[in-house]
Amino acid sequence: MTEGNSAEHATLTSPFVEQTEEAVEKTLRPHNLGEFIGQERVREQLSLILEAARRRGSVPDHVLLCGPPGLGKTTLAMIIAAEMPAPIRVTSGPAIQHAGDLAAILSSLTQGEVLFLDEIHRLARPAEEMLYMAMEDFRVDVVVGKGPGATTVPLHIPPFTLVGATTRAGLLPSPLRDRFGFTGHLDFYDPAELEQVLHRSAGLLEISLTADGAAEIASRCRGTPRIANRLLRRVRDYAQVRADGVVTQQVSVEALAVYEVDELGLDRLDRAVLTALLRLFSGGPVGLSTLAVAVGEEPETVAEVAEPFLVRSGLLARTPRGRIATPAAWAHLGLTPPPAETTAPSATSSTANLFDDLGQEP
């Protein structure tokens, strides 16, 4: 849901939640699996797990949800609790500084409660180890006293369901991954699903949205429901101020031009990175920090905010020699690539990397 660097990188097309939109996100969250759009396989698998647990009168297995931000992991955790039904406790890896913080949460859980642990890959090591035992044996060992006289007292906790969410499944140690009974991988949504998300949100927010308006926004929201909902709200503003309040295709195109979100969903920073790569470095290869200096941003911002979507869209590739633009990037910006020999390894490209300390980063 949230990520440490979300606030400072907030843009219209950022997949991270902004503080100001938490309330509206709550209103838009589907409340049960039937209302949850797309992700058919995960939905079906989860519904079987929940139904089986309900029939047995037991607590569902621990669930791990993996996928990029804004695709519905928090929403699914809440749905799991609502479908049982069971209370839910929400926390996140970075919020748990010490094992004691986790012990306090675990020991106050009630029978069947769902514990949602967002960004579980950022949990501190001692807390992670405490979690192993809690997940497996529903027990935590509490250390009493200090020094040689310290003893551990086992504390039994009622059966609960841990729902972990991560944007970086690869960072989870395998002992932790193995303790989940089910892992659901969320994928980016296709345009038809995003149109459904938009129509549903428009209904809840009392926005009048036409079919072609929904299609236009869906094609620019990077496969991410959170961005779809955010663009819808901005286009609604434009529709109310500059048009008759109805979100049509025409209104969406005009509004998104004002907000600098282009037909592929690229924003100002994405386009600045691409333009610099093409115009200043003839399509690369160029190292990350050189590229970042060229657009006046920190290398981390370019690497974490702009590049993932540029790579996913097939516009930019990360290579050991640096960043390169693909033919699609030239076409998208309406520029002509230089003759073939300038894209081969050359004096220019190695000079670009010479000044680049981060050029070898993935």
| Beta carbon nearer to ligand ADP, 23 or 150 | 23
Q: Indicate the residue among 15 and 283 with the shorter CB distance to ligand ADP.
A: 15
The span of 34-42, 131-139, 205-213, 312-320 binding ligand ADP (CB under 6 A) equals 34-42
Q: Which of 13, 30, 230, 266 binds ligand ADP (CB under 6 A)?
A: 30
Q: Which stretch binds ligand ADP (CB under 6 A): 47-55, 67-75, 253-261, 298-306?
A: 67-75
In terms of Cα–Cα distance, which of 273, 247, 269 is closest to 260? 269
| 29 assigned to active site | no
Cβ-based neighbours of 282, under 8 Å, separated by 6 or more: 338, 342, 343, 348
| Minimum gap (Å) between residue 233 Cβ and ligand ADP | 11
The sheet carrying 88-92 orders its strands as 88-92, 114-118, 161-166, 63-66, 182-185
Q: State yes or no: is 56 an active-site residue.
A: no
Q: How far apart are CA 347 and CA 69, in angstroms?
A: 40
Query: Shortest distance, CB of residue 211 to ligand ADP, whole angstroms?
Result: 18
**Using CA atoms, how far apart are residues 43 and 105, in angstroms rounded to an integer?**
28
Distance CA 238, CA 217 (A): 13
Write down the least CB distance from residue 53 to ligand ADP, Å.
22
Contact string 167-206 vs ligand ADP (x = CB under 6 A): ------------------------------x---------
* Per-residue 3-state assignment (H helix, E strand, C coil) for 63-108: EEEECCCCCCHHHHHHHHHHHCCCCEEEEEHHHCCCHHHHHHHHHC
Nearest distance, CB of residue 12 and ligand ADP, angstroms:
15
Q: Which of 2, 74, 75, 301 is catalytic?
A: 74
37 lies in the binding site for ligand ADP (CB under 6 A)? yes
d(CA 91, CA 69): 16
Residue 155 CA: distances (Å) to CA of 69, 87, 103, 107, 160:
35, 21, 9, 8, 14
Annotated active-site residue in 226, 230, 271, 323:
226
Does position 1 interact with ligand ADP (CB under 6 A)? The reply is: yes
Question: Which of 62, 179, 226, 230 lies at the binding interface for ligand ADP (CB under 6 A)?
Answer: 226
Q: Report the residue from 11, 13, 28, 33 that binds ligand ADP according to the rule CB under 6 A.
A: 28
Report yes or no: 225 and 200 within 8 Å, Cβ to Cβ. no
Nearer to ligand ADP, 184 or 359 (CB): 184
Residue 39 β-bridge partners: none
| Distance between CA atoms of residues 209 and 201, nearest Å | 10
> Is residue 27 annotated as a catalytic residue, yes or no?
no
Choice between 69 and 299, CB closer to ligand ADP: 69
- The label of the residue with tokens 């859980």 reads 109
Q: Extract the tokens encoding 189.
A: 């949504």
Among 11, 13, 33, 36, binds ligand ADP (CB under 6 A): 36
**Of 216, 189, 214, 185, nearest in space to 199 by CA:** 214
Q: Which two tokens stand for residue 339?
A: 């003759």
Element (H, E) at 295: helix 288-295
| 74 has catalytic annotation | yes
Q: Which residue's CB atom is positioned nearest to ligand ADP?
A: 72
Residue count of the chain: 362
Q: Is 118 an annotated catalytic residue? A: yes
Interacting span for ligand ADP (CB under 6 A) from 24-32, 170-178, 206-214, 307-315: 24-32
| Of 64 and 277, CB closest to ligand ADP | 64
Residues marked as catalytic: 73-74, 118, 167, 226
Binding site for ligand ADP (CB under 6 A): 1, 25, 28-30, 36-38, 69-75, 165, 197, 225-226, 229
